[in-house]
């Protein structure tokens, strides 16, 4: 979004509660304390990881799609005043290479805390209460929207990545747990 002047965009403020990962293990979003999702392109992943931490207050200027309550970030301002500006993936001749992610088979059971959206407001998955994000293509998410709604209890099988910033699973199969007693007990 290098062509958009961030100064003309609405500002959203909040405290970072979680990071979101794409299927390659790169940061591509965050969740603020008001449960607002902020999406940013993965070519900003390293800068965001370097200058923003969970618990930090951030200011975000971006575009809000009509279909969802998210912000597609054009600019992030860290708690220490560092400006992270989306000037496109090829700014100054840089190439953004997708990292090789060590994906492995994963399974998770849990409750949906928040539906997750792409930068244009398209449903793309869900964030579970344990912090795991599940991802799927928009056409699949549209067909399975009831599974991805807050409060739904689901079980997911797929391949994913886990790193110090979080865990993401690309969904191969998903099932809705009708009875909350089906959920495994959690250790306190």
Give CA–CA dist 132/115, Å, rounded: 12
Looking at the domain assignment, is residue 1 inside a domain? Answer: no
Residue 33: Cβ within 10 Å count: 12
Residue 144: Cβ within 10 Å count: 19
Among residues 93, 119, 151, which one ends one of the domains?
A: 93
Cβ-based neighbours of 5, under 8 Å, separated by 6 or more = none
pLDDT at 178: 78
Same domain for 54 and 87?
yes
Among residues 73, 93, 113, which one ends one of the domains?
A: 93
Cβ-based neighbours of 156, under 8 Å, separated by 6 or more = 107, 108, 109, 134, 169, 171, 173, 174, 175
Looking at the domain assignment, is residue 188 inside a domain? Answer: no
Same domain for 10 and 50?
yes
Same domain for 108 and 47?
no
Same domain for 162 and 85?
no
pLDDT at 158: 96
Tell me the H-state helices in the chain. Answer: 45-51, 138-143
pTM of the predicted model as reported, rounded to 2 decimal places: 0.86
Per-residue pLDDT of the chain (188 residues; tens, 9 = 90+): 567 889 999 999 999 999 999 988 999 999 999 999 999 999 999 999 999 999 999 999 999 999 899 999 999 999 999 999 998 876 545 555 666 667 899 999 999 999 999 999 999 999 999 999 999 999 999 999 999 999 999 999 999 999 999 999 999 999 998 765 555 544 43
Same domain for 79 and 115?
no
pLDDT at 96: 52
Same domain for 71 and 110?
no
Same domain for 85 and 133?
no
Name the CA dihedral angle for 175, 38, 41, 50, rounded to a multiple of 10 degrees. Answer: -110
The CATH number linked to 167 is 2.40.50.140
Same domain for 68 and 123?
no
Residue 168: Cβ within 10 Å count: 29
Among residues 93, 117, 133, which one ends one of the domains?
A: 93
Same domain for 38 and 111?
no
Q: Which domain holds residue 24?
A: 6-93
pLDDT at 77: 97
Same domain for 24 and 86?
yes
């Amino acid at each position: 979004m290098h062509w958009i002047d961030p100064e003309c965009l609405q500002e959203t403020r909040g405290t970072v509660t979680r990071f979101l990962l794409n299927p390659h293990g790169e940061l591509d979003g965050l969740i603020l304390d008001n449960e607002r999702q902020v999406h940013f392109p993965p070519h900003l992943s390293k800068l965001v990881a370097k200058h923003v931490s969970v618990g930090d207050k951030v200011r975000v200027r971006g575009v809000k799609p009509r279909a969802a309550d998210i912000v597609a970030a054009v600019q992030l301002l860290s708690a220490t005043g560092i400006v992270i500006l989306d000037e496109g993936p090829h700014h100054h001749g840089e190439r953004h290479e997708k990292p090789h992610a060590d994906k492995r088979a994963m399974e998770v059971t849990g409750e949906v805390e928040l539906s997750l959206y792409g930068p244009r407001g398209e449903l793309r998955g869900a964030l579970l209460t344990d912090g795991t994000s599940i991802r799927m293509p928009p056409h699949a998410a549209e067909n399975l929207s009831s599974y991805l709604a807050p409060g739904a209890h689901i079980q997911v099988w797929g391949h994913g990545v886990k790193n110090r910033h979080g865990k993401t699973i690309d969904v191969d199969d998903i099932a809705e747990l009708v009875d909350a007693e089906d959920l495994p007990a959690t250790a306190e």
